[in-house]
Structure 1
Amino acid sequence: MPTSPAKRPRPLSPNIQNYRPQLTSVLSIANRISGVLLSLAAVVLVIWLLAAAAGPEAYAVVQGAFASWLGQVVLFGCTFAFFLHLCGGIRHLVWDMGYGYELGSIYASGWTVVAGSVVLTVLAWIASLVLGG
């Protein structure tokens, strides 16, 4: 007696089993995630501004949250998200002008986005520590 089609296991695509994320796909997803994180960071910025407008007590509470180790990690992440989104946007502007579509250029610009984001984040934090006291 033949087995019904519903009882047979579905074959898995060999592409799914052998898929390895590419730099371009990872950066595309990271760009979207960083955009969402920056939207959330904008809400936190508004909260900070409202606390500053509300008076010293409210401002001290928000500043205390930002000064905590968790607040510093979140601010560092927001800084990295900002620069990742910025560098990715510049990369897309170059593509919009019709440049950089060769495979070597795509990977070079992708790694430049990653490296530039890291370097700009670290430089921004060093500048904030040096200039901010």
Structure 2
Amino acid sequence: MPDATRTIRERPTSPHIQIWRWHATALTSIMHRFTGIGLYVGALILAGWAVALASGPEAYGAYMALLGSPLGRLVMFGLTFAVFFHLAKGVQHLVWDTGAAFRLPVANAGAVAVIAFSLVATVVVWIIAAMTGALS
């Protein structure tokens, strides 16, 4: 039996590490997962709001003060973006489920459209809220 040398060879790295580059579809796929998690957090915030509402005027006032604080508004802005992003990405997935828009340029353009729609819709909702006095 030949004597096998037991040396540890360095394993090769995958070539994609050197040549792979980000695509808009990869970014939106990851963001879709994160916004889904964010929407779960938003559901907990909504449940807390309902509990505060049922607990009386003092609890409700304290909860609304928390949501109206700068940190609360930042969280609510993020949740607004998450709702619109998750909605738009879900529509893109429905289109993909029909077998359409899989070519890379079209898929990347759709991903950019998802991001643009989410940003514009979020800003428009917050402008409307400010104009109607909902942020007071």
- Answer whether TM exceeds 0.5 for this pair: yes
Q: Report the more deviating stretch, 96-105 or 70-79.
A: 96-105
**AA at the equivalent of 2:100:** Y
**CA-CA distance at 1:58 after TM superposition:** 0.5
Computed over aligned residues only, the root mean square deviation of the Cα atoms, in angstroms, reads 1.6
| Local SS of the residue matching 1:11 | coil
What secondary structure, in the 3-state scheme, does the structure 1 residue paired with 2:60 have?
A: helix
Alignment deviations for residues 4-40 of structure 1 (CA, whole Å, 9 cap, x no partner): 333x332222211332222111111110110111011
Give distance in 1, aligned partners of 2:20 and 2:103. Answer: 22
Match of 2:6 in 1: 4
Letter in 1 for 2:17: I
SS of residue paired to 1:91: helix
- Partners of 1:18 and 1:50 lie apart in 2 by 52
1:100-111 equivalent positions in 2, closer than 5 A: 100-111=101-112
Instruction: Say how many residue pairs are matched.
Output: 131
Aligned-pair distance for 1:104? Answer: 2.2
Q: Gaps (5+ residues) in structure 2?
A: none
- Give the match for residue 84 of structure 1: 85
The answer to whether the 8 Å contact 2:85/2:115 transfers is yes
- Aligned counterparts of 1:77 and 1:3: Cα–Cα separation in 2: 58
Structure 1: segments with no counterpart, 5+ residues: none
Paired amino acid for 1:126: I
Shift of residue 3, structure 1, vs aligned partner: 6.8
In 2, the alpha carbon distance for the partners of 1:117 and 1:68 equals: 23
Q: How far apart are the structure 1 equivalents of 2:86 and 2:77?
A: 14
Identity between Structure 1 and Structure 2 (%): 41
State the Cα distance separating 1:123 from its structure 2 match: 0.6
